[in-house]
């Protein structure tokens, strides 16, 4: 009789252990699967937007005070520069940036290098609902990769890939030949028509007797050996080596 009770007891114990094991396995699967399905990104700092300034600058509340943020590794055309004025696609970049800023949760990411630029602006990568704003502007042809100062280059490779795709598609700033350069945006060749329009005028203002060519290929059709400084067709932007001769044969 005692032996039977012992067997029953062992059977109940085994069943209980099995149930506990199944429950633990289910809990483990639930929690770890949830973690994999919704990963969190380290280093993203939630911030409050104060206002959008232009295509690559915003004002936020940071560490208890209003702070301007300059987007790392990209550059958008100007909207109200004291020297350059309003540039083609500057207003479009600002409007798109403003749309993104008002579309979700704003977070910033800092890099390991210089934290502020010479104007006192915080340098950061910008995210809306976890998606890169820099990549969005680059993909739509509203920004170029620029101001690359190591070691603040964490996302440089990704940005360059996105920019190359935009170039291939010929969108935004890439619809204007030689507009986006390593030195910035060429406002001389593509000045904005008026304050109310950001569509470019393809010709320079005729305030002086000069000849205009979009690039060296066009210039060489008229002047095969290039032109020297002082010539009506000479332009510094076409004098890459700064030797006083634009578009000389290579």
Active site residues: 70, 78, 121
SS3 label, residue 99: helix
Interatomic CA distance for residues 210 and 204, integer angstroms = 9
Report the DSSP beta bridge partners of residue 59: 51, 68
Interatomic CA distance for residues 213 and 191, integer angstroms = 14
Return all residues near 43 (Cβ < 8 A) that are at least 6 apart.
Answer: 109, 110
Interatomic CA distance for residues 121 and 144, integer angstroms = 19
- Are 92 and 140 in contact, with CB atoms under 8 Å apart? no
Candidates 209, 202, 213; CA nearest to 238 is 213
Interatomic CA distance for residues 168 and 155, integer angstroms = 20
Report the DSSP beta bridge partners of residue 192: 200
Report the DSSP beta bridge partners of residue 49: 60
């Amino acid at each position: 009789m005692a032996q039977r009770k012992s067997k029953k007891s062992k059977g109940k114990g085994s069943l209980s252990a099995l149930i506990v094991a199944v429950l633990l396995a289910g809990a483990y699967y639930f929690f770890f699967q949830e973690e994999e399905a919704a990963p969190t990104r380290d280093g993203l700092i939630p911030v409050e937007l104060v206002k959008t300034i232009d295509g690559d600058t915003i004002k936020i509340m940071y560490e208890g005070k209003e702070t301007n943020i300059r987007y790392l590794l990209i550059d958008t055309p100007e909207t109200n520069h004291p020297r350059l004025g309003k540039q083609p696609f500057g207003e479009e970049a600002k409007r798109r940036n403003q749309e993104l800023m008002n579309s979700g949760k704003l977070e910033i990411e800092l890099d390991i290098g210089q934290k502020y630029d010479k104007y006192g602006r915080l340098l950061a990568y910008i995210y809306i609902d976890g998606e890169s704003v820099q990549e969005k502007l680059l993909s739509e042809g509203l920004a170029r990769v620029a101001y690359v100062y190591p070691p603040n280059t964490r996302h440089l490779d990704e940005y360059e890939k996105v920019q190359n795709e935009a170039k291939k598609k010929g969108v935004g700033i890439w619809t204007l030949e030689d507009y986006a350069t390593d030195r910035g945006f060429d406002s001389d060749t593509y000045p904005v028509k008026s304050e109310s329009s950001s569509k470019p005028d393809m010709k320079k203002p005729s305030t002086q007797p000069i000849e205009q060519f979009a690039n060296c290929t066009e210039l060489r059709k008229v002047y095969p050996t290039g032109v020297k400084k002082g010539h009506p067709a000479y332009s510094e932007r076409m004098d890459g080596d700064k030797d006083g001769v634009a578009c000389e044969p290579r």
